[in-house]
Structure 1
Amino acid sequence: MISVRPIAPHEWQKYRDIRLQALQDAPDAFGSSWAAEATQADEHWSTRMAAAAASDTDRALFAVNGGTVCGLVWCKLSVAEPGVADIYQMWVAPTARGLGAGRALLDHALAWAKSRGAQRVRLGVTVADSPAMQLYRSHGFAPVGQPEPLRAGSALVAQAMELNWGTPSAH
């Protein structure tokens, strides 16, 4: 059974390990790379998790299966654009794929964003007929704008997608 919970500040090492595992497992799914993040000092990781836990604008979540962390997602409210949230770092371990971990992570991130007043949620996904693309579409995300390079020097392209709940008065 998959459960989802916030990442506690003291779990920065587990967060680091899962993040690096994600970057190794799915290098074509992220704007960052394992090489760019693997050299970060412990202080970077611990500070990142402490800041997220103390923030009203960040929500970092783990998916857990039988006591083992098997997935990650980060949701952040935009400071520059009130009512907008962004989803980053979405990943599910190969051993947990097909068990609903991605759906559970996305559901929790979206519920959190909505509870904080978000009317739109944005994310980027590598253009492919992938489980990730299917998951986002099934939740109502639609492409916005033109695909852009995943990162400098990459032949892959990422598509910005958005879920729009509209204005609060519309509900």
Structure 2
Amino acid sequence: MVLIKMAHNVISVRPIKPSEWQLYRDTRLYALRDSPDAFASTYEEEALRADESWKARIIAAFSSNNDHALFALDGNEVCGLAWGKLSANTADIFQMWVNPKSRGLGAGRALLDELLAWARRCRALRVRLGVTAADTPAMHLYKAFGFLSAGDLEPLRKDSVLMSQPMVLELRSTLP
């Protein structure tokens, strides 16, 4: 677990437990409503998922060596979400989001720290993500961690005018 103390707030990060599938669902749906321009998925699409699908997604992630689904917590309250998925030698990051009430407290940094530590433990050679192409706190965070643009802009989702910038962080030099 990663702990970051900011003033009076303590941000922690931990895996999402199978019993928390409803909290994950509610947090994910809130994130999609709060920041629709940050995700390839939409609230309308995800809200149609059956509860069994949400539950199965978290149970599968928790028992998998290839998924790392995380909550960020501000004290005892969930304030952020992120998901890592390992494929061959690459870890992909999805669903990064921080509640507006907790932005600026280090939750995004804590989530990213844990995902990168996980990727290194899994001996991934690189970490990839896509971020909406704009001058945003998310873009600044990824660049601060050393992520570099990796390819042409792509539509955020079908029929979207928003563009996503693929980014990559090479980890080879950090492996023992």
Per the shorter chain, which TM-score range?
A: over 0.9
AA aligned opposite 1:107:
D
Identity of aligned residues (%): 58
AA aligned opposite 1:54:
S
Say yes or no: does 1:166 pair with 2:176. no
Provide the residue aligned with 1:25 in structure 2: 34
- CA 1:153–1:63 in 2, change beyond 3 Å: closer, same or farther? same
Q: CA RMSD in A?
A: 1.0
Say yes or no: does 1:150 pair with 2:156. yes
Provide the residue aligned with 2:3 in structure 1: none
The separation in 2 between residues aligned to 1:154 and 1:57, in whole angstroms, is 30
AA aligned opposite 1:153:
D
- 3-state SS of paired residue (2:59): helix
How far does residue 166 in structure 1 lie from its aligned partner after superposition? 2.1
The separation in 2 between residues aligned to 1:69 and 1:142, in whole angstroms, is 29
Say yes or no: does 1:106 pair with 2:115. no
Provide the residue aligned with 1:120 in structure 2: 126
The separation in 2 between residues aligned to 1:83 and 1:37, in whole angstroms, is 29
Provide the residue aligned with 1:131 in structure 2: 137
- 3-state SS of paired residue (2:172): coil
Provide the residue aligned with 2:48 in structure 1: 39
- The structure 1 segments of at least 4 consecutive aligned residues displaced by more than 6 Å after TM superposition are none
- Map 1:48-63 onto structure 2 (within 5 A): 48-63=57-72
The separation in 1 between residues aligned to 2:22 and 2:47, in whole angstroms, is 12
How far does residue 168 in structure 1 lie from its aligned partner after superposition? 6.8
Q: Deviations over 1:63-111 (max 9, x none)?
A: 0002100000000101xxx211100000000000000000000000110
How far does residue 167 in structure 1 lie from its aligned partner after superposition? 5.8
TM-score, normalising length: structure 2: 0.93
The separation in 2 between residues aligned to 1:72 and 1:90, in whole angstroms, is 6
Residue correspondences, number? 167
- CA 1:168–1:136 in 2, change beyond 3 Å: closer, same or farther? closer
**Structure 1 residue ranges without an equivalent (≥5):** none
Q: Deviations over 1:89-134 (max 9, x none)?
A: 0000000000000000000011001100111000000000000000
Say yes or no: does 1:89 pair with 2:95. yes
AA aligned opposite 1:86:
D
TM-score, normalising length: structure 1: 0.95
Q: Deviations over 1:140-164 (max 9, x none)?
A: 0000110010001110000000000
Provide the residue aligned with 2:86 in structure 1: 77
- Map 1:3-14 onto structure 2 (within 5 A): 3-14=12-23
